[in-house]
Chain A
Amino acid sequence: DTAVSQTPKYLVTQMGNDKSIKCEQNLGHDTMYWYKQDSKKFLKIMFSYNNKELIINETVPNRFSPKSPDKAHLNLHINSLELGDSAVYFCASSPDRGSEQFFGPGTRLTVL
C-alpha cells in the first residue's frame, strides 16, 4: 500500500486553465503539506494543514488554493495556470507538525 499518493503523476495543460492535484495519505497522520520543486531542484513549502486547519501559508499567488476535506486528504487547486507554474509538486505528511515527513511521488505539471 502506498503511504502518500498523488494523482495525477503527470499533468500537461494550457495556460489559463484550472487544474487540481489530489493527495491522500493512509498513515493516520495529522499534518499534510504541499511543496513546489522548481527546475533548479529547489524545494519550497507552499502550505501546511494540521487536522484540516491551515497552519502554514507561504507567499504563493492566491490562484493556488489548498483544500482539505478530511485529515487524510489535501488537494491543491490552481486557477488560471501560468507558464511559471510548471514544476514538480510534492505532497507530504507527518504525524504532527514538526515531526518526520513522508513524501508522495510528486506530480509533474507542465503548462504550455
Chain B
Amino acid sequence: GIQVEQSPPDLILQEGANSTLRCNFSDSVNNLQWFHQNPWGQLINLFYIPSGTKQNGRLSATTVATERYSLLYISSSQTTDSGVYFCAGGNDMRFGAGTRLTVKP
C-alpha cells in the first residue's frame, strides 16, 4: 500500500510565527486531505486538495500531485492551532504519523 511520510514529527512555535508542514506519498493519490486533531481529540477537516492551492484564513495548502507531496502553511500561528496535523490519501485512505504542533503564548 501507499506510504505516507510527514515532517517534521514535532514542531514548537512562538505565537505569531509561520510554519510549513510537509506530506510525501510513495505513489500518486487523487484524494489528499489535511486534518487537524485538536487537544480534545476531534478530527477537523482542513483541506481536501488533490492538486493545486487552497486557502482558508491563516491556513493554506498546496499539493503537487506529479511530485507526490503536499504542504500545509500556517501563518501567524495561535495557541488554538496546537494539536496534531495529519495528511491522508489513497483509495484506502492511508494516514501519515502526523506533525504535533505546539504554539506557545
- Write the residues of chain A forming the contact surface with B, with a CB cutoff of 8 angstroms: 33, 35, 41-45, 48, 56, 58, 88, 90, 97-103, 105-106, 108
Contacts and interface: CB of A to CB of B under 8 A. Distances in A.
Q: How large is the interface on B (under 10, 10 to 19, 20 to 34, 35 or more residues)?
A: 20 to 34
A41 B93 contact: no
B3 interface: no
B43 A98 contact: no
Question: Chain A binding site: helix, strand, loop or mixed by DSSP?
Answer: strand
A56 B91 CA distance: 9
A100 B91 contact: no
Contacts of B43: 90, 103, 106
B41 A106 contact: yes
Contacts, number: 49
Given A41-B37, A45-B94, A90-B43, 14 more contacts: A42-B95, A43-B86, A45-B95, A48-B92, A88-B41, A97-B91, A98-B30, A98-B91, A100-B48, A101-B33, A102-B45, A103-B35, A105-B42, A106-B43
Nearest to A90: B43
Nearest to B93: A45
Interface of B: 30-31, 33, 35, 37, 41-43, 45, 48, 84, 86, 88, 91-95, 97-98, 100
Contact of A45 (B30, B37, B92): B92
A43 B84 CA distance: 12
A86 to B, nearest CB: 14
Given A99-B31, A101-B33, A33 B93 contact: yes
Nearest to B1: A58
